[in-house]
Structure 1
Amino acid sequence: MQPRIPRQSAGEQDARRPDSADHDPRFSPELVSVVTGARRRALRDGDRQIDTAHLLHSLLEYDPEVNAVLGEGPHTARLLGYLVQRSIGYGLRWQGTVEDSGGVPAVKEATGFSPSAAATIEHACERAARRGLPRAGGVDLLAALVADPRTRAVEVLERAGVDPETILARADAHAGPASTP
């Protein structure tokens, strides 16, 4: 009798192991879930690296605070629609390419991330630190995602009719004033 669940090859099992970058001590538990989900999505899509669109999609799936910042309305449904279509139409031109907006310096320590996604993660952690928090959360990542207008995440947001500057203002208002060191 054949097992109901097919066996995985060693390569597939290794691909499912969490990367140490997923468990960065600067990440809140919610952000760890977001990064882990983005990694799974990238693997499922056949992408070599997590890009900013993977991070955005995972934020929408795993972080209710991010959904509160985005607000209700048809733009959220359109946004999810574009993100879901990534592997079946929208975003196919991204396959096989590395996301690098050139807008911010690449961070070399973040393995498994596109240069833009690595810089976004770093920016989110810096944003949390400026507010006096030891760990970055989903809203920090959302604000960092919209800070660079040349990323895939911003392209998806704009295509869905979501203004990145409005999202940044909402994220800043949601987080409250920055603490002074």
Structure 2
Amino acid sequence: MQNRTPRIPQQPAPNHRAEFDARLTVELAAVVTGARRRALRDGDRQIDTAHLLHSLIESDPEVRTAFDGGAQPAKVLGYLVQRSIGYGLRWQGAVEDSGALPVVTDPGAEGWSPSAASAMAGAYRRARSLGRERAGGIDLLMALTADRECRAVEVLERAGVDPAQLEDRIAEASSQG
């Protein structure tokens, strides 16, 4: 069966190893597919952390409930939508690498910004530390907020979301559940 997910222009086809895919819940795999489509539509060369955040908020109800109040996800989405009409144009053609986290050299990370690849690896590490075989949306959200220099955190902050408070709410909910 042919893969129907479009490739990002001028990038080699991603190496979707079964091992990498097996690390994600079905929901998170859908988030990754949505982020890939968004990157392609935005004309970006790589999936970055803002693409992941956008797809997470749109498709994962658990992620939306992690925010403090119903207006926060809508405000974040508003900033993310502006990305394609001006706000994020300065990001186009630039590789996202905050330098805050170690760069992932996983061959399955082709077509990903270094920060996004590190966030995906961080999501998997978090899931494993909690005794789960697969990473989910909340794991990825925690990994995104851990890199205070990534584009996703920039968007959160511009939307009035404190990444540290978001992390604390998620950690508290994880310890209770």
Structure-1-length-normalised TM-score: 0.85
Show CA shifts across 1:10-53 (max 9, x none): xx975389862696111011100000100000000010100000
Task: Determine if the alignment matches structure 1 residue 20 to structure 2 residue 19.
Answer: no
In structure 2, the partner of 1:129 is: 128
Q: What's the secondary structure of 2:87's corresponding residue?
A: coil
- Matched residues in 1 for 2:71 and 2:113: separation? 30
* Aligned-residue RMSD, C-alpha: 2.2
Q: Is the 8 A contact 1:139 1:175 kept in 2?
A: no
In structure 2, the partner of 1:170 is: 169
Query: What is the deviation of 1:171?
Result: 1.4
Show CA shifts across 1:111-158 (max 9, x none): 111000000000010000000000000000000000010000000000
Q: What's the secondary structure of 2:75's corresponding residue?
A: helix
In structure 2, the partner of 1:101 is: 98
| CA 1:14–1:85: 2 relative to 1, 3 Å | closer
- Matched residues in 2 for 1:62 and 1:53: separation? 14
- Matched residues in 1 for 2:61 and 2:131: separation? 22
| CA 1:21–1:86: 2 relative to 1, 3 Å | farther
Q: What's the secondary structure of 1:162's corresponding residue?
A: coil
- Matched residues in 1 for 2:111 and 2:148: separation? 22
- Matched residues in 1 for 2:15 and 2:33: separation? 8
Aligned residues: 167
Please tell me the residue identity of whatever aligns with 2:31. V
Task: Determine if the alignment matches structure 1 residue 74 to structure 2 residue 62.
Answer: no
Q: What's the secondary structure of 2:104's corresponding residue?
A: coil
Q: Is the 8 A contact 2:14 2:110 kept in 1?
A: no
Please tell me the residue identity of whatever aligns with 1:77. A
Structure 2's unaligned 5+ residue stretches are none
- Matched residues in 1 for 2:176 and 2:66: separation? 16
Q: What's the secondary structure of 1:67's corresponding residue?
A: helix
Q: Which has the larger radius of gyration?
A: 1
Structure-2-length-normalised TM-score: 0.87
Q: What's the secondary structure of 1:176's corresponding residue?
A: helix
In structure 2, the partner of 1:111 is: 110
| CA 1:174–1:98: 2 relative to 1, 3 Å | same
Show CA shifts across 1:88-119 (max 9, x none): 01111001000000011111221111000000
In structure 2, the partner of 1:149 is: 148
Q: Is the 8 A contact 1:47 1:96 kept in 2?
A: yes
